[in-house]
Amino acid sequence: MALLNGRTAVVTGGAQGIGFAIAERFVAEGARVVLGDLDLDATEAAVRRLGGTEVAAAVRCNVTDSSDVDALLARAVDGFGSLDVVVNNAGITRDATMRTMTEDQFDQVVNVHLKGSWNGTRKAAAIMREQRSGAIVNISSLSGKVGMVGQTNYSAAKAGIVGLTKAAAKEMAHHGVRVNAVQPGLIRSAMTEAMPEKAWEQKMNEIPMRRAGEVAEVANVVLFLASDLSSYMTGTVLEVTGGRFM
């Protein structure tokens, strides 16, 4: 039997990249998926790629707005009948050194990543605790573990997601709701492949497996945490990094 057969999942930032790969893996395992993203056209196109409205739905969602998150989760419950998995994946970057980073650049990144994950976690938990089941997966980053130059905003937000995950896991465990996190490292994407060659090579030299990860490899780990395969795991942080910065 498929690992998510009959379950409904919500994925924020699901129109492309890691978020879309997660949604694609979930659908392959029998789930219905609701994608939340700021770009509604891209999200609707993603739904078509997933197989259409029988298995997926598109919702425009600003994760920093709690009412938008309410509407996103309601679409899962009203449209597909349940809310079983939530993946808080939406994110942005506004990289700059501390000397040049603006206050607005700091606020934008912390709001989308940290407040967005908090909104998604607390709103999902309120629904899931009533049914006494559910899995929440928050997407952190290796940057939240080690800190990266030019990412005081991003590293702080991603580290905060780990703390959020652990605190929420403790609050929700006795309600039957599990909360875990994933920290991807260097994952091949249009954004990372646009790096200067020197920067790419520097990062590759830090990876014992000597290659970048693929979005599908992150999706597989998220699937594990979303499914009953990880039924006795909560408050954990799994690194998908090829061994970088062990």
pLDDT of amino acid 196: 87
Question: Residues 214-218: what's their mean pLDDT?
Answer: 98
Cα–Cα distance between 7 and 130 in angstroms, integer?
16
Sheet holding 134-139, edge to edge: 56-60, 32-37, 8-12, 85-88, 134-139, 177-184, 237-240
- Half-sphere exposure of residue 143, counting CA atoms within 13 Å on the CB side? 20
Report the topology of domain 8-236: Rossmann fold (3.40.50)
pLDDT of amino acid 190: 78
- Please say if 232 is a catalytic residue: no
Contacts of 174 (CB under 8 A, 6+ apart): none
pLDDT of amino acid 116: 98
Q: Residue 232 pLDDT > 80, yes or no?
A: yes
Per domain, the residue ranges of the chain are 8-236
SS3 149: coil
Question: Residues 161-165: what's their mean pLDDT?
Answer: 98
Q: Which of 139, 154, 213, 234 is catalytic?
A: 154
Structure tokens at 67: 């009412």
pTM for this predicted structure: 0.97
One-letter identity of residue 81: G
- Sort 99 into a burial class: Cβ within 10 Å, 0-12 / 13-18 / 19+: exposed
Cα–Cα distance between 210 and 243 in angstroms, integer?
9
Cα–Cα distance between 110 and 105 in angstroms, integer?
9
Cα–Cα distance between 100 and 195 in angstroms, integer?
20
Query: With b meaning 16 or more CB within 10 Å and e meaning fewer, what string describes 74-85?
Result: ebbeeebebbbb
Contacts of 82 (CB under 8 A, 6+ apart): 7, 8, 76, 131
Q: Residue 61 pLDDT > 80, yes or no?
A: yes
**Rounded to the nearest 5°, which phi and psi values hold at 211?**
-160, 160
Query: pLDDT digits over 176-196, tens only?
Result: 999 999 999 999 987 788 888
